[in-house]
Structure 1
């Protein structure tokens, strides 16, 4: 039984309004007139917050988005830069957003209005990570024989089809610039599942900052009456 539910995504950026404009065009979301630093769609879980941070991007993003596109040139015109083009062996294009954050573009004949396809998390042990998050948020744990990655699908509230955990050799070294938030009835079950509390809710923030077993940061939002673990 799951102990939390996916809430939304957050992206650390230097220029929130500019990055919101880029990702809005890329994914198919809009920024409200009274808040140009957040993107919203037709469901609350499609919300993406652009969070201004002082530190620059220094290493490859350990968490990135995969998006659907009709033409990679459309993404370039929108402000993306090709980092690695599609090949026979790699059937997607690796790009960077205007601030250097990596993401992948998948060309499809049919392009939906909402184009976020999946969330990719680099992992030292992708099977363990996928199973851990399946325990936390539910959904179906999936794999494919002979393939090194694992994924979740049919996760309640997940605003994209797949949540993929992909093996990489390099360890996590800095705070992720892309993270997700969850809601939970209480914090303690999330901690009992194996999360680490990095920063509790206080007078400055209204949520608890946690990390999963490989150190990926995520925020836990509790009901207003639940103020402690």
Structure 2
């Protein structure tokens, strides 16, 4: 049984309005700019992505990034992205905030060009077993199934997930800074999330905080909103 449910995605940015104006059209989501400088991206009125202004600039490679399916690179380049690296099957780009994401160019008629247009990819320090282990942890938390796939692992049947999948890939480098992209979940029992292996970084109520900031077993931050 799931201990938590996927809620939404959060992206930190030096200029949330500018980044929301970039990602909204790329992901076919409606852009909603807030008076306080933050923003959100919506589909049919439902918030799928929060974009929050933060004081700290981006300094390290993103540990969680988006893979986007597209008919070509033209749309993202015209929106303000720049090419970082060319790989045989995908292109690594940076958005206007300098945050990496990957574009997979698909042929016309490919069903992956329909919504959902993207997946979330989490870097995990270590080998494929470490990546799969974290996938299993998140799968247990969200009531989903972790599947090995050619050195990677991904989650299937994640309730409420508006994108294609959550993918976990092994990387050699260690986590050194707060993740600039993270997920939010809802739960009826934060204590059960902690008992499963999460660590509380900031408790709900601290300085008026309306949610609990946690880290998964590999130190990746996520936020839990208590419901019920």
- Taking the TM superposition and a 5 Å limit, the aligned residue runs for 1:27-46 are 27-32=27-32, 37-42=39-44, 44=46
C-alpha separation in 1, matches of 2:181 and 2:134: 17
Q: How has the CA–CA distance of structure 1 residues 135 and 95 changed in structure 2, closer, same or farther, with 3 Å as cutoff?
A: same
- Taking the TM superposition and a 5 Å limit, the aligned residue runs for 1:1-229 are 1-32=1-32, 37-42=39-44, 44=46, 47-87=48-88, 91-108=89-106, 109-110=108-109, 112=113, 114=115, 116-124=117-125, 125-144=130-149, 147-202=150-205, 203-223=207-227
Instruction: State the aligned residue count.
Output: 218
Q: Residue 32 of structure 1: SS of its match in structure 2? A: strand
C-alpha separation in 2, matches of 1:191 and 1:100: 33
What's the CA shift string for 1:151-174, capped at 9, x where partnerless? Answer: 102111111121100000001000
User: How much is the aligned-residue C-alpha RMSD, in angstroms?
Assistant: 1.7
- Consecutive unaligned residues of structure 1, counting only runs of 5 or more, are none
C-alpha separation in 2, matches of 1:207 and 1:61: 23
Q: Residue 165 of structure 1: SS of its match in structure 2? A: strand
What's the CA shift string for 1:187-210, capped at 9, x where partnerless? Answer: 111011000000001142100000
Give the TM-score of the pair, scaled to structure 1. Answer: 0.90
Give the TM-score of the pair, scaled to structure 2. Answer: 0.90
- Consecutive unaligned residues of structure 2, counting only runs of 5 or more, are none
Q: Which has the higher strand share?
A: 2
